[in-house]
Structure 1
């Protein structure tokens, strides 16, 4: 059997280069020089007999072969890191990457404390955080990340995902301070006449609290809530609310942070409309269940967070 002669360091750099599509960004991420990244790319081009990255008028783009091998390289690097942690884990000595996925509100609320603790105790450990809207568990199943922060249930078809509650969360209504309801007592009845913004992160077709209006007889299949604005991420919501009559139903920390804009206010959700799926979970795949680095990260979450505390 012929064993391929591959430069693991260059492969490691290539993994991030294929994600960033930018030499200087990759160098900055890995705390190395641009020339080191360029040399690694040249080695990998020879090894794979392919350009891998080609320059376009908009920057670099992946070749079809690079697109094809990108996930395989990512999984290989994660497995190599897992092997390197197999026998022991000393935070102060470890050098690798721990990868998280989560939506912006959960990441903004929970991860600053986690990152601070990692920087203090494992200063050479890189923390990679992805907040792009997508299915919450696909990257866990594919082995592309170690952890996902999510309030969603894993699909019933996926039996290999472990999870534990790390926080409670609640919601607020974000609106323009000149909204007609801004200084009124909010009820299900008067809110049912308002215009809402729907944040559809996973292709949802209905507002997260619309079923509450249906239970109260204030909406049905023929008489839906008004949702003239549909967006795929949280970041656009504050500016839209600040300039329109659109109300957004948002996790409290995100809604409160948005009120640094003086045009905005938050209001409590009327009790009859409050949701009950309020836990945030740290999720991981069974492939990393016994990995010492991942065990340490889970212990860090246990130390930092009380799952019964509402972060608001």
Structure 2
């Protein structure tokens, strides 16, 4: 099949069909009659040489080829819109789709300032936020993820913009036997610890620093989210080492209390955003990155 024989106008209809997995619902969304959408599906099957949607006892299911095409469409359609639109970008009319990978920390710290502003200005923008994973930077490389928020600088070839600096503090239950205002390395060795493991098989910044200082991980609890670490503390002797701004955002939570980290762990670390150079000049992505940067610049410095 040569591209000269393909009708690129069918791609949007294909995207809706693969999302709805139902001819009638896709027809309603695309403002076509059911018979017209059925004819469109027939043309798409001829174009791609694949059934795409197969009827089963549970309704329509995507073929393996259709699942692969759907992933590619998430990347291709916004780029086609940007190419046709050129350099002009109006957030009020934008229907771009942007996929972000980050932790619950980034959502907690940046989300309250970012999301209301973005969706007030760009109500039809599609923003998908998914967890960071070991594949995030590969996904950015292949165009399946647009932006990542992370303290881990990317490999060469991807762009990195520092947003702010952060440091770690200790958090314990309000009735924890520790009473001093600052932890020591010996106390971290003595008490079990909650470890937030965002990326399996990769050390978090704090774990790497502790390993460099010769502090082994004592048996404790491993969780995938910072919010889960806070939930685990009340009623236990666990210690958590978490980013300072996350604790400051929970001032009203009297079930836990902040304890300064050991002086050996006091050095701040950068938090930034990562994207592929192909998106450097994409108007929608430039706009979203600028909003992330504005919110980050407006954050108060962490206060010991």
Q: Quote the residue 2:14 is aligned against.
A: 11
Give unmatched runs, 5+ long, in structure 1.
24-31
Is the 1:52–1:66 contact (alpha carbons within 8 Å) kept by the matching residues of 2?
no
TM-superposed CA distance for 1:169, in Å, is: 1.8
Report the more deviating stretch, 116-125 or 44-53.
44-53
Q: Quote the residue 1:121 is aligned against.
A: 121
TM-superposed CA distance for 1:288, in Å, is: 0.7
SS at match of 1:166: strand
- 1:75-115 CA distances to partner (integer Å, 9 max, x unpaired)? 22232233244231122332322332211111221133222
Is the 1:119–1:125 contact (alpha carbons within 8 Å) kept by the matching residues of 2?
yes
1:306 to 2:303 alignment:
no
Distance 1:71 1:275, change over 3 A: farther
1:294 to 2:285 alignment:
yes
TM-superposed CA distance for 1:206, in Å, is: 5.1
Distance 1:33 1:237, change over 3 A: farther
Q: Distance in 1 between matches of 2:192 and 2:74?
A: 43
Equivalences for residues 146-185 of structure 1 within 5 A: 146-155=146-155, 158-159=156-157, 161-183=158-180, 185=182
Distance 1:52 1:114, change over 3 A: farther
Is the 2:92–2:123 contact (alpha carbons within 8 Å) kept by the matching residues of 1?
yes
Q: Quote the residue 1:255 is aligned against.
A: 247
Please give the TM-score of this superposition, normalised by the length of structure 1.
0.75
Q: Quote the residue 2:236 is aligned against.
A: 244
Please give the TM-score of this superposition, normalised by the length of structure 2.
0.77
TM-superposed CA distance for 1:35, in Å, is: 4.8
Is the 1:134–1:201 contact (alpha carbons within 8 Å) kept by the matching residues of 2?
no
Q: Quote the residue 1:191 is aligned against.
A: 188
Equivalences for residues 70-85 of structure 1 within 5 A: 70-85=70-85
Is the 2:192–2:239 contact (alpha carbons within 8 Å) kept by the matching residues of 1?
yes
Q: Quote the residue 1:140 is aligned against.
A: 140
Q: Distance in 2 between matches of 1:170 and 1:34?
A: 52
SS at match of 2:233: helix
Q: Distance in 1 between matches of 2:291 and 2:122?
A: 12
SS at match of 2:178: coil
Q: Which structure has the bigger radius of gyration?
A: 2
Q: Quote the residue 1:28 is aligned against.
A: none
Q: Quote the residue 2:89 is aligned against.
A: 89
Over aligned residue pairs, what C-alpha RMSD do you find? 3.6
Equivalent residue pairs, number: 289
Q: Distance in 2 between matches of 1:162 and 1:111?
A: 22
Q: Quote the residue 1:27 is aligned against.
A: none
